[in-house]
Structures are given as C-alpha cells and as structure tokens.
Amino acid sequence: MKICKKITKNLLVALIFVLCHHQNIDGCDQKQEPQKSFNASQKLMELASAHILSRAIHVAAMIKVADHLVDGPCNVYELAEKTEVHPTALYRLLRLLASNNIFYETADQGFALTPLAELLISNHPESLQPWLANHDGDEKRWRSYGHMGYSVQTGNPAFNYVYGQGYFDFIAQDNDMAASFDEGMRNLSEKEDRALATYYDFSAYNVITDIGGGKGGLLTEIMKLYPSVHGVLYDLPHVQISAQSYVSQCGFDQQVVFTSGSFFDQIPSGSDLYILKRILHDWDDELCVKILSNCRNAMTQNTKLLIIEAIVADDNSRDFAKDVDIAMLVLFGGKERTQNEWTALLEAANLELIKVHKTPSMLSIIEIGIVK
C-alpha cells in the first residue's frame, strides 16, 4: 500500500510538471515569466552601465595602483597613501574591479594582483597602463563618446562637433595630447608588432616602407627576424625625431631611411613592399581610396601592399572590432570594415586582394597587389 501511494504521488508530481510546461496552468508560468523579465532587465542594465567599469579601469591605470602591489598584497589605506587618493573611495573602486577579476580582495580590505591586474603595472613587459591611462582614458575622448547620438544622427564624428575641428588637427595644436596619443599608440603597437612580424613571411622583400609607421616598431621587429631587409619610415615631420632615436637604439639606423610627408599627398616609390598598419580605419571611404590610390601610384606589378587592420565579422557574433568601429565613428569619422568592404575599397583604387592572413589578435594581414 505504501509503495502504491508513493508511486501515485510520483505520478501526480510528474503530471503537474507536464501540465505546467505544456498547458500553461495558471500559476505555473506566472512565476517563471517575471523571473525571465527580471533577468533580462538586469542584464540590459549591467550592459548599459559598462562605462562605469571602463572608467574604473582607466582610473586605476592613472593612479598606478598596480605598481604598489608588485611585492604582494597591500592594505587599502596604505595603497591610498602611496597613490595619494581617498582610502574609502579607493576601496570601493578596487572592490568593483576585483569583482571583475581585476585585482583580488584579501582579508582586512587588502588587495592583490591578478593576471589582468598585472597588465596595469607600468613596467610590465605586456603593460597596457600607458594606453589605458593616457590614450583610451583621455577625457576629451570620453566627452566625445557622450555625444555619440550626434554621430548616429549625422554620420559625422562627435569629436568635431564638440571641439570644432578634427581629432588630428586638434592634437597637432596640443602638445600634451599629441604626446599622450603617440605614447598610447606606441604602447598598444609594441605587443602587436612583435607578433605581426612572425605571422607573415617577409623574406622575399629587400626594401619595405611603413606608411605612417610611427617610431618604427613594426619595421624594427621585422628587421630583427630578417636582417637583410632595408626600411623606409614615412610619417609626419614631428614623428621623425622620436623615430630616429628609437631606430638608433635598436641598432638599425644604417638600414632605415626617414622620409617625411603626408600619405594624402604622395607615397615614396622604390620599395618592394608597403605597409599600412592601423591607418585606414581612421578615415572614411573617400579618403581611404585617396590613400590607396597614392599607394597604387608608387607600386609596380611586382610590389605588394599589406593592410594590417581588423576585419569585422558580418554576422551577429561578438567581435571587439564592432566596439572599435563605433569609437572610429565618434572620434575620427572612420570605420572598421568587413572583408567585402575592404574588397570594394581596393577595387576603387585599382588594387586586388590576394590573401588574408589571420593572426591571434583582432588584426588581420591583408595582402594586396595591383590589378593585372
């Protein structure tokens, strides 16, 4: 009898379960639907508030809190004294970061480094501290992001709307901002350049021109692996002073020619390979075609061009390049592009895509030749 009652009870539970899921009995789904709605609302609120976490990372980079944790965990009051900030406010900042695996909270309001936090150490080999503190965290950029709606309404950069001129024209008149921009880009490029030099075979080229090549980070990394290569650094005049110093420190001053000019005017001829790394995403399609046409004019049938940029996924997948694309719109009026969009730009400049070389980073190496 007890066994029969137990079986009957189990059957009754099973029946209720089936009815709740397939016949929507009052009271069964009513409890589930509010929970689903709450979860969705919570998720959207968290996504909409992600700028708070971003800014917290920037502030941690600015005050260099990670530098004071290299020797081990430290109490927040001691950290506040070393970084010259308010202790309770610092605790709240680090608590937020620790909840996202950036730092780790120990006993008695102490904090320690995590693998992510180590990248905020200013002298770490893979440090992002300069880029986060001085470049991505720049207040003028953030003020521009606050006017993103203008860019969506007009298709024009919000930076121009806020400051009355283009980003690069603005920093050309602001030495501090220009220095911060250059330092931030150098910091970001150092890690990329070492990897990029290994993901393409440069052995077939004698002379390589890096267009807008900055201090020469990518060119020198290539030369370390291919000692017979000679290089040309083509950039604006104010960049060349630091570039000459850096290339000399790397021991390649006898192999590199420094040429100043604008890629909107012309590209120096005579090289076997031209490189455009993180250049074209700053500009709209019309200006990109102008730059590419100038490259085309400098090339011969045997010359190659490498565009090193992101290729945006053309589906609904999560892709960091889509985030960067909005930043390009707001700040410069530029864009990240899909492979089809890259192909269209190349065709407009009488160039053709030969091959796309994927790398572990968000960047791809797009190999290009002249249309034959």
What residues act catalytically? 281
Contact 176, 182 (CB under 8 A): no
Give rounded-to-5 percent helix, strand, coil for the chain.
55, 15, 30
In DSSP notation, 234-260 reads EE-HHHHHHHHHHHHHTT-TTTEEEEE
Could you tell me which of 309, 213, 242 has the C-alpha nearest to residue 231?
Answer: 213
Strands 110-112 and 74-75: antiparallel
Could you tell me which of 145, 169, 56 has the C-alpha nearest to residue 103?
Answer: 56
The greatest distance separating any two alpha carbons of the chain, rounded to the nearest whole angstrom, comes to 98
Give the whole-angstrom CA distance, residue 188 versus residue 185: 5
CA distances from 149 to 68, 153, 171, 178, 320 (A): 39, 6, 23, 26, 20
Q: What are phi and psi of 352, to 5 degrees?
A: -135, 145
Close Cβ partners of 119 (under 8 Å, ≥ 6 residues apart): 126, 127, 128, 129
Task: Please state the separation of Cα 135 from the chain's center in Å.
Answer: 11
**The residue type at 359:** T
In DSSP notation, 206-224 reads SEEEEET-TTSHHHHHHHH
Give the whole-angstrom CA distance, residue 297 versus residue 370: 10
Tokens for 286, please give them: 């019309």
- Helix axis angle for 339-348 and 285-298, nearest 10°, is 60
